[in-house]
Structure 1
Amino acid sequence: MSLIVEMRRLGELDWRELDVKEAGSWPWSLQLLLCLLVLGVMFFGMHWYLAASAKEQLDQVRAEESRLILDYRSKTAQAASLEAMREQMSVLDASMETLREMLPTGSEVPSLLDSISEAAIDHQLAIDFLRLRSQVEKDHYTERPFDIQVRGDYHRIGAFLADVASMPRIVTLHDLTLTPEENGQRLRLSMQARTYSYRQQGRGES
């Protein structure tokens, strides 16, 4: 019955005449609602004051956790492939060493030119000139160009070019020009050849 009476009192209450100074005489149900409202506001304020910063820190920790997990997975994958990468590096180092051995040192360039001259003579070609140009410094190697001009028939010139290209030391051929001589029986070959020397940083040429 008291609950029905309280509900009736709330229904008959003139909210405009309520005075905070007389809060003690308000219906107990109204007082209870106000207490709950005050407690709710206090709880919300405490939560905002105490938990907001903690929630922000929690979000930062979670973000850091995600980053660390990704970093861990990346490093785990790298560690799993480390042995294969080492094997690949070993193969590449061996290939690089083989290529370096095919590059003449500065002191070996004259003997390389002699080998080219001997190849021309072996194929019965007349040598007009075999002239070394100034070397060109690159980032990791030195380029050593030289001009060649020989005369002979087509097949002998072709065999000579094949011999030069297959020499133990790397020689590349550029700007080939093949022109007939006046009698039409022989051809003149003019070209630039290049060989290379490996440069180690801080150690000069190999």
Structure 2
Amino acid sequence: MATPFREWPWFLQALFYLGLTIVLVLAGLFVPGLPLSSVRTDLQAAQDQLKPLETEVGNLRVYKQRRSELQSEMDALQKQLATLQTIVPEEKEADQFILMVQRAAITGGVSIRSLTSMPVVQKQYYYELPFTIEADGPYYSVLDFFARMGHLSRIINVGDLKLASTKSGAGKFRMAPGTSVTGTFTITTFFTNGGQPPAAAPAGAQAKK
């Protein structure tokens, strides 16, 4: 005759309950329709949805970092463009240029007797805006004037330089004390003109001091 369950040794009862628990858990996980099985299915589905989202988030982080890098590059290029537009502007801006040259002369102690604009010269990618200048002053002041023009915001080329000593009587203006050099030269600056055809600069612009 079979021994009643209650009379089983305690360790056999413990093993029985343990085995029963394992069976119930496995049944709950794998038998369709049971609560644990539904939770397991939902968990797996959530994990499957999470993986592509994690991948997408990782890609977005890369794009965000790349966007910051591109923005920094664009800012640097904008600054370079602004600098280039100052050095070689789109328009002639002849009046502003003449004022810059006159200030450099006054600061350097040089007298500009005449400043005459010449016809604009068209090149492939830019335009040349030349001026002829007649000036006089102390020798070292004239040198300082040329140095100051080299530090102006716009590019300036100096050519056709003809200097003479005032002792030779070459000067035709009343000169300031200490003046030792007089002469003429050409200065040329540049502009891009914004894609418009060049127009001849008005001749005979005079500036006297």
When normalised by structure 1's length, the TM-score is 0.48
